[in-house]
Amino acid sequence: PVYRVLQGERTALEVLTRCSAVAYQTHLAVKIAKEHGWKGRIAATRKTTPGTFRLVEKYGVLVGGGDTHRYSLSAMTMLKDNHVDAAGGITAAVHQAKRA
């Protein structure tokens, strides 16, 4: 039984360490951006570690002052330049996206 408790403790510490590292690195990026007068947002990519760590990493970004952007492809619509070009302009691309 003691082995299982220690095993669980080790796992919990690894998860907390990873979350803390993501939060710290995000905080540094946000701080540097502000120091240079950048008005944009520091946002996380969707391409995080698969599985449970995705949620841990997104939480770390949030705690560090960043924007989690989106959790998955279904969270919001994103139009890239090739979508806009194929649709014949931004207005047409937005209308097509809303119909989809």
Query: Which residues are known to be catalytic?
Result: 47
Q: Which segments of 4-85 are extended strands (E)?
A: none
Q: Are 49 and 69 spatial neighbours (Cβ–Cβ below 8 Å)?
A: no
* Cα–Cα separations (whole angstroms), residue 59 to 10, 14, 77, 92, 99: 20, 15, 22, 35, 32
Please name the residue that has the structure tokens 């119909």.
Answer: 99
